[in-house]
Amino acid sequence: MMKLFITGATGKVGSRFAPRMIQHGHDVKVLVRDVAQAQALEQQGAQVIHGDLVQPDSYLAALQDVDVIVHLAAKFRGVDEETTRTANTDGSLALAHAALQAGVSRFVFASTNNVYGTGGADRPKHEDDELNPLFAYPQSKVAAETALLELHREQGLGLRIVRLPFVYGDRDPHIADFLPYVKQWNPAKRIHMGHHADISQALLLAASVPGIDGRIYNVADDAPISAAELLRFHGEESLPEAAQQEYDAWDMVVDTMRIRNELHYRPVYPSFYSAWAAGAL
């Protein structure tokens, strides 16, 4: 059993990950700014810590007996660049310094496959490729990754970085919310996705496998899906001019051999269609 401290436990990923960890028998603490939103997690057995990432004094005491921090909290859409930077970069660094102060041995940081941007090699993106983040969210994640890796090298932070794909499943409306953007893509453009069950699997592996401090892992399923397929499945059609849009064939497609080889990650749902067939959407 591990003692986990999870941030972002009321978000899309965290609200699926934390219950799975409780069900696995792990001791789970969750950091939240609004205790009311964590009532369901508390009822399932989580210890709810009221605090703010950028104010370590609000949660430092709760870290004293923790084995692993899984840092999922982030700002993505609907906020300005300064708020994004404060939450995703400054908050991550505050948490990492608190982890070092409390002696937490492992720190799992959830980043994004959007850090790669477009361009580069004509193949799926590899963890060691040059990063080219195109908007505020991945830019803030790159800044956080860079600073956390420096803390790993200079102060021994037990860092493991997991770059997440587009996440779906478990009744998450993420795909439906994103379809207006997909309608404007060239129908042949593909996107790598990952089911919540497999994201939880990857995070658990990153938290539990020894000897991987400082490593970065792409996570995704085995079969990128095209815009045309996603739209057709949801009864939508692309905009007429979308077929004329230029696109990078390898944008949003990643190489997952490292996590497969080093952590023995195997997707429960290798494709969107397998999740659909299993009734897991």
Query: For 92-112, how does the pLDDT look when each residue is reduced to its tens digit (9 = 90+)?
Result: 999 999 999 999 999 999 999
The answer to whether 214 touches 153, Cβ cutoff 8 Å, is: yes
Residue 77 has pLDDT above 80, yes or no: no
Cross-strand partners of 69: 5, 107
Q: How far is CA 65 from the centre of its chain?
A: 25
Residue 121 has pLDDT above 90, yes or no: no
The answer to whether 170 touches 197, Cβ cutoff 8 Å, is: yes
Residue 78 has pLDDT above 80, yes or no: no
Q: pLDDT of 32-76, one tens digit each?
A: 999 999 999 999 999 999 999 999 999 999 999 999 999 999 987
What Å distances lie between residue 190 and 47, 77, 177, 186, 257, CA to CA?
40, 21, 17, 9, 19
Residue 80 has pLDDT above 80, yes or no: no
Entry pTM: 0.96
Strand extents, DSSP E, 141-245: 159-164, 166-168, 190-191, 193-195, 215-218, 225-226
What structural domains does the chain harbor? 3-171+195-222+255-269 (3.40.50.720)
Residue 86 has pLDDT above 90, yes or no: no
Residue 155 has pLDDT above 90, yes or no: yes
Q: What is the pLDDT of residue 79?
A: 75
Say how many C-beta atoms besides its own lie within 10 A of residue 36's C-beta: 8
